[in-house]
Amino acid sequence: MSRTSGSNSVVFITDVDYRIDELGEEFMEKYIETRRAILERLGIRLIEALYRPSPSGRGLHFWWHCEVDGELSDEDVNNIQLLLGDDVTRWWINRLRIMFGMSGMWNKCFSLAERRRSERCDRCRIVKYLREIKGSK
| pLDDT in the model for residue 23 | 97
How many structural domains compose the chain? Answer: 1
Distance of CA 21 to the CA centre of its chain: 17
Here the CATH number for the domain that contains residue 46 is 3.30.70
Q: Rg of the chain over CA atoms, in angstroms? A: 16
- Between the CA of residue 118 and those of 26, 97, 115, 122, what are the distances in Å? 44, 19, 9, 7
Profile the chain (137 residues) by mean pLDDT over runs of 10 residues: 62 94 97 98 96 91 94 94 93 89 75 51 62 55
* Best CA proximity match to 2, nearest among 95, 98, 100: 98
Parent domain of 56: 2-134
| pLDDT in the model for residue 14 | 95
